[in-house]
Amino acid sequence: MPDVLIADDSEFMRNLLREILEEDHTIVGEVENGVEAVEVYKEETPDLVMMDIVMPIRDGIEATSEIKSSNPEANVIMCTSVGQEEKMKEAVKAGADGYITKPFQKPSVMEAIQDVVPS
């Protein structure tokens, strides 16, 4: 099963993502800001990071950029409420591989993961 790191400052959303993913994925960590996301990524090197954008301390785009700098093969899907075109372009520039806007349902999450990490 692919290893997944969940980065979201909302406990509610981390729980929701865990419930969606845990059947087919191994959750290696749940973090609530971009700094922790980079740290845990480097420790665990998961197959996939589900990354929120708006987080305290360091946002998800900066964290994605740092993860991709350290490992260009890393897989990051932005999982965010932000639906702005300019922000999506920033995410692409930072190296994001996919983008899901909240609110989402399980099929759209699984489809986005399948596009980035084919089983």
Give the interface with another protein as residue ranges (CB under 8 A): 9-13, 16, 19, 54-56, 80-90, 92, 96, 98-103, 105
The two structure tokens encoding residue 49: 């990071």
Nearer to another protein, 42 or 92 (CB): 92
* Least gap, CB of 36 to another protein (angstroms): 14
* Least gap, CB of 52 to another protein (angstroms): 9
What's the CA gap between 113 and 18, in Å, rounded?
14
Alpha-carbon dihedral of residues 104, 21, 38, 84, nearest 10 degrees? -10
